[in-house]
């Protein structure tokens, strides 16, 4: 059994904030893989389903970001899960917008949701870090993450969230590099190579020059 935790703040006022990209990611997984409806449990919203033949729980803490660890600890204890069973989806300002990285352990880097979880269960869980960019000024950090994504952001955001839902099975299989590659490819598709005849023509023209 695995536990996917999406980080964010509850309520419609926060729904489209950069800080809520973790909620967005797990909501897409729930939708894509036809999970059961969410229900209130462990100071959060919990649902379950199957991905790649394995049972998966999805938890969205409703304690607000700063107390996310309470919900995670309660679910972990109830289901007797180990740290390696837990994957947390979070916003990450230290990554440029649209980048994705997976990390196990490490410091919280000032992220209050990660800080809270680490204080309750330790730091050995896996994190899917979803880049939202940095405002460039420490004084603007709170305002940055608690603002809605801009219209320009939607160009990469929708593609990223859809790719996360589509390729969640790779996380279950432990294929982290493959998962990151698939999501990155969705945002930056490879350009098709020109036909062989066109390649030869281009080469001949260069030789003639």
Q: pLDDT at position 195, please? A: 72
Which residue's structure tokens are 């996360």?
A: 164
Tell me the chain's radius of gyration from C-alpha atoms.
20
Between 206 and 2, the more confident residue is 2
Cβ pair 116, 8 in contact under 8 A: no
Lowest mean pLDDT, pick from 93-97, 122-126, 189-193: 189-193
Report the distance separating Cα 53 and Cα 137, nearest Å. Answer: 45
The strand pairing partners of 3, in sequence order, are 57, 86
CATH number at residue 82: 3.40.50.1470
Average pLDDT of the residues in 183-207: 71
Q: CB-based contacts of 137: which residues, under 8 Å, 6+ apart?
A: none
Please give the average per-residue pLDDT across 35-58, as a whole number. Answer: 97
For residue 19, indicate whether it is catalytic: yes
Q: Predicted confidence band at 189 (pLDDT cuts at 50, 70, 90)?
A: confident
The pLDDT tens digits for 103-136 are 999 999 889 999 999 999 999 999 999 999 999 8
Residue 60 structural domain: 2-208
pLDDT above 70: residue 63? yes
pLDDT surpasses 60 at 202: no
Q: How many domains are there within the chain?
A: 1
Say which DSSP state 7 is in.
Answer: -
Question: Which residue, chain included where needed, has tokens 């803490």?
Answer: 61
Mean per-residue pLDDT for 23-49? 97
Cα dihedral angle (95, 150, 183, 87), rounded to 10 degrees?
70
In angstroms, the Cα distances linking 56 to 51, 85, 126, 168 are 7, 10, 15, 11
């Amino acid at each position: 059994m695995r536990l996917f935790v999406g980080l964010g703040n509850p309520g419609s006022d926060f729904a489209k904030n950069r800080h809520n990209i973790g909620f967005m990611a797990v909501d897409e997984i729930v939708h894509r893989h036809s999970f059961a409806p969410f229900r209130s449990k462990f100071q959060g919203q919990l649902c379950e389903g199957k991905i790649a033949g394995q049972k998966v729980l999805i938890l969205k803490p409703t304690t607000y970001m700063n107390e996310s660890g309470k919900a995670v600890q309660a679910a972990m204890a109830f289901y007797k899960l180990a740290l390696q069973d837990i994957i947390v989806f979070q916003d990450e300002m230290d990554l440029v917008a649209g980048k994705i990285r997976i990390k196990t352990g490490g410091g919280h880097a000032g992220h209050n949701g990660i800080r809270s979880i680490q204080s309750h269960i330790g730091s050995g869980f896996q994190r899917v870090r979803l880049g939202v960019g940095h405002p460039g000024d420490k004084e603007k950090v709170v305002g940055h993450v608690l603002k809605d994504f801009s219209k320009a952001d939607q160009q990469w955001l929708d593609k990223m969230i859809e790719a996360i839902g589509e390729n969640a099975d790779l996380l279950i299989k432990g294929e982290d590099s493959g998962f990151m590659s698939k999501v990155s490819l969705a945002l930056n598709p490879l350009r098709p190579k020109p036909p062989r005849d066109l390649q030869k023509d281009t080469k001949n023209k260069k030789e003639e020059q």
